[in-house]
C-alpha cells in the first residue's frame, strides 16, 4: 500500500465535512478524476452516517478512522475502522429498482450507491470490538500512485 | 455550513433552488422547508439543482419523501438542471425512471402540466 493517509473523526455528523475535505485533498494529490472524488465522498458519508447513527449505545465520544490509499495495482482503497457494535452494511438487502414511487422504500439507498460506485465492498469484524469496512475501486484513474 | 434555499413563485408553480451540499447535515432543513410549503398549499413544484455540487443518499431521501407527499396530495414535482455527477446518482438510485427530471427549467415547468 503506497501513500496511505489516515484521518480520525469523532462520531458526530458535523465531522463528515472535515472527512470530505480530507478525501478531496487526497484525491487531488493523487490525481483522481472529479467524479471519483465525488464517489469517494458519497461512500464515506454513507458509511460514517451509519456508524454515527447506529453504532453506539453509550452516548459517548468515539474515534472512527478513515484510511485512503492507492495500492500497488493502482486501485483506490478506502478503509473505515471503528470500535462500534457489530454492523455489517454489506449484508443489507439490495434495493428494488423496479418499484413505483408509492412503493419505494426510503432505506437502503445509500448502501446501494456504495455497491454500485465501488468494485469491492467488504466487511471484517474487528476483535475484540469494532468493524472494518474496505472499499476498492480498480482503475480509478489516479495519475500519481506514490503520494 | 448552512445551505441556502431560494424560492421563486409564479402563478403556475413554485421553483425552489437549494445551493451547496445536500447531505446528511443539510437535508433536514430542505425537507422541513419543502414539506412546510406543501402543508401551506403549494402543489406544483420545481426543484432546480443548478446550484448544488453534491447530493448524497440523504438528499435522495428528501426528494423521495417530497415526491410522495406531493403525489398523495394530487400535486406534481419536477427536477431540473442537475450537474452530470448528480444526475448519475439519481440514475444509479433508479430515481430517473421514477421522477420527472429535466435538463432545463423550461422543460421541468412544462412537465408539471
Question: Are B94 and A97 in contact (CB < 8 Å)?
Answer: yes
- For Cα atoms B54, A99, A101, give the angle at the middle one, nearest 5 degrees: 65
Residue of B nearest to A37 (CA): B85
pLDDT at A102 over 80: no
CA atoms of A45 and A107, how far apart (whole Å): 15
- Say how many CB pairs under 8 Å bridge A and B: 65
Cβ neighbours for B111, distance < 8 A, ≥ 6 positions apart: B76, B78, B100, B102
Q: Is residue A145 part of a domain?
A: no
Residue of B nearest to A106 (CA): B61
Nearest beta carbon to residue A13 from set B21, B25, B89: B25
Q: Is residue A143 part of a domain?
A: no
Q: How far is B78 from chain A (nearest CA, A)?
A: 14
**Does B60 lie at the interface with A, CB-CB under 8 angstroms?**
yes
Band of residue A104 on the pLDDT scale cut at 50, 70, 90: confident
Question: Are A45 and B56 in contact (CB < 8 Å)?
Answer: yes
Mean pLDDT of the A83-100 span: 84
Q: Is residue A44 part of a domain?
A: yes
Indicate left, alpha or beta for B74 from its phi (over 0: left) and psi (-120 to 50: alpha).
left
Mean pLDDT of the B41-70 span: 95
Q: Is residue A65 part of a domain?
A: yes
Q: Is residue A53 part of a domain?
A: yes
Band of residue B36 on the pLDDT scale cut at 50, 70, 90: very high
What is the per-residue pLDDT for A16?
Answer: 94
What is the per-residue pLDDT for A142?
Answer: 83
pLDDT at B104 over 90: yes
- Could you read off the pLDDT of B13-23 as tens digits, one per residue? 999 999 999 99
Q: How far is B8 from chain A (nearest CA, A)?
A: 26
Q: Is residue A144 part of a domain?
A: no
Count the domains in chain A.
1
Question: Are A112 and B93 in contact (CB < 8 Å)?
Answer: yes
Question: Are A95 and B67 in contact (CB < 8 Å)?
Answer: no
Pair A36, A27: CB distance under 8 Å = yes
- The residue segments making up the domain with residue A87 are 2-138
pLDDT at A47 over 70: yes
Q: Is residue A27 part of a domain?
A: yes
Q: Is residue A46 part of a domain?
A: yes
Nearest beta carbon to residue A45 from set B24, B92, B97: B24
Say which residue the cell 493502482 belongs to. Answer: A74
Please report, for the domain that includes residue A35, its CATH number.
3.30.565.10
Amino acid at each position: 500500500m503506497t501513500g496511505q493517509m489516515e484521518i480520525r473523526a469523532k462520531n458526530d455528523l458535523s465531522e463528515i465535512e472535515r472527512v470530505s475535505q480530507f478525501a478531496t485533498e487526497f484525491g487531488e494529490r493523487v490525481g483522481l478524476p472529479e467524479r471519483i472524488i465525488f464517489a469517494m465522498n458519497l461512500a464515506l458519508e454513507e458509511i460514517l452516517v451509519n456508524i454515527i447513527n447506529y453504532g453506539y449505545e453509550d452516548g459517548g465520544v468515539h474515534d472512527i478512522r478513515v484510511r485512503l490509499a492507492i495500492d500497488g495495482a493502482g486501485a483506490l482503497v478506502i478503509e473505515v475502522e471503528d470500535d462500534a457494535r457489530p454492523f455489517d452494511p454489506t449484508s443489507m438487502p439490495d434495493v428494488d429498482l423496479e418499484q413505483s414511487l408509492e412503493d419505494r422504500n426510503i432505506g437502503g439507498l445509500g448502501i446501494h450507491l456504495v455497491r454500485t460506485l465501488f468494485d469491492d465492498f467488504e466487511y471484517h469484524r474487528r476483535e475484540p470490538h469494532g468493524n472494518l469496512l474496505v472499499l476498492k475501486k480498480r482503475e480509478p484513474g489516479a495519475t500519481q500512485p506514490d503520494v | 455550513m448552512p445551505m441556502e434555499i431560494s424560492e421563486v413563485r409564479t402563478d403556475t408553480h413554485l421553483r425552489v433552488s437549494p445551493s451547496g451540499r445536500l447531505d446528511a447535515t443539510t437535508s433536514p432543513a430542505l425537507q422541513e422547508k419543502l414539506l412546510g410549503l406543501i402543508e401551506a398549499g403549494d402543489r406544483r413544484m420545481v426543484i432546480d439543482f443548478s446550484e448544488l455540487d453534491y447530493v448524497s443518499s440523504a438528499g435522495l431521501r428528501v426528494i423521495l419523501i417530497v415526491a410522495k407527499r406531493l403525489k398523495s396530495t394530487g400535486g406534481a414535482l419536477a427536477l431540473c438542471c442537475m450537474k452530470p455527477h448528480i444526475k448519475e446518482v439519481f440514475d444509479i438510485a433508479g430515481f430517473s425512471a421514477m421522477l420527472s427530471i429535466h435538463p432545463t427549467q423550461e422543460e421541468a415547468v412544462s412537465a408539471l402540466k
